[in-house]
Structure 1
């Protein structure tokens, strides 16, 4: 079994910022060492991140996320256990709105945004579609 969680937060960072890239590289390195995989999507100052892996390691990752000063207003959208990973092979995939829009996907797929469970499922579906067109890192 693998644990997972999805959260949303706000940030002032832009994908081209050096700090953004450094945080991503640190996360990829840490996740690789901890058997954690996932997907980070940035859009219009909003992060959506799916993280999955062993329970103890996810607690460490979540603590790092919550202590980070690079974003604020973290809201957990879902937390679950699954038999398989959604993003095996991705230490942390990255999607940005300049290429593909989560907000457009939510609108065109009629994903509800008021029900947290439905919204989280829509965000995960978007991430899965995006990850299929990118090579793992």
Structure 2
């Protein structure tokens, strides 16, 4: 199993509707290709961890690189894992109406930091996710 971690910048600030559409579309596309992971969004910055078989991960990331909704993609880390850290694809972001997203499959509230402690603490993705949530004021 391979993983890839990247950050990017959105070309515009996403609305709650934009984020909901992104979550819905990503869950559908990723499930078709055996891709799991997590994406966090805050004030124009995306942080994403993708997990999957090498070929599907490469195909998925190529599509991501050509997505016109963001730019400045930087790969932070790649590697292999013995098992998935994120068996369900999910997305966390701050929103003006968090209650309306709480029932949406795959949504995690990054303000509730306990979501990050359920994972393998030795994995680079977890450490980077923790840093991203703390540095982007997800924790109140």
User: How far off is 1:74 after superposition?
Assistant: 0.4
Aligned residue pairs, count: 109
Equivalent positions of 1:42-53 (< 5 A) are 42-53=41-52
What is residue 17 of structure 1 aligned with on the other side? 17
Q: Describe the shift of the 1:79–1:27 C-alpha distance in structure 2 as closer, same or farther (beyond 3 A).
A: same
Equivalent positions of 1:1-137 (< 5 A) are 2-11=1-10, 12-18=12-18, 20-88=19-87, 90=88, 92-98=89-95, 99-100=109-110, 122-125=127-130
5+ residue gaps in structure 2?
96-108, 114-123, 133-140
TM-score (norm 2): 0.67
Q: Describe the shift of the 1:121–1:23 C-alpha distance in structure 2 as closer, same or farther (beyond 3 A).
A: closer
User: How far off is 1:125 after superposition?
Assistant: 4.2
User: How far off is 1:97 after superposition?
Assistant: 3.4
Q: Describe the shift of the 1:120–1:39 C-alpha distance in structure 2 as closer, same or farther (beyond 3 A).
A: closer
**Runs of 4+ off more than 3 Å:** 97-101, 124-127
What secondary structure, in the 3-state scheme, does the structure 2 residue paired with 1:17 have?
A: helix
Contact residue 41 and residue 49 of structure 1 kept, 8 A: yes
CA RMSD of aligned residues (A): 2.6
5+ residue gaps in structure 1?
106-118, 128-137
TM-score (norm 1): 0.68
For residues 78 and 97 of structure 1, what CA distance do their matches in structure 2 show? Answer: 24
What is residue 112 of structure 1 aligned with on the other side? none
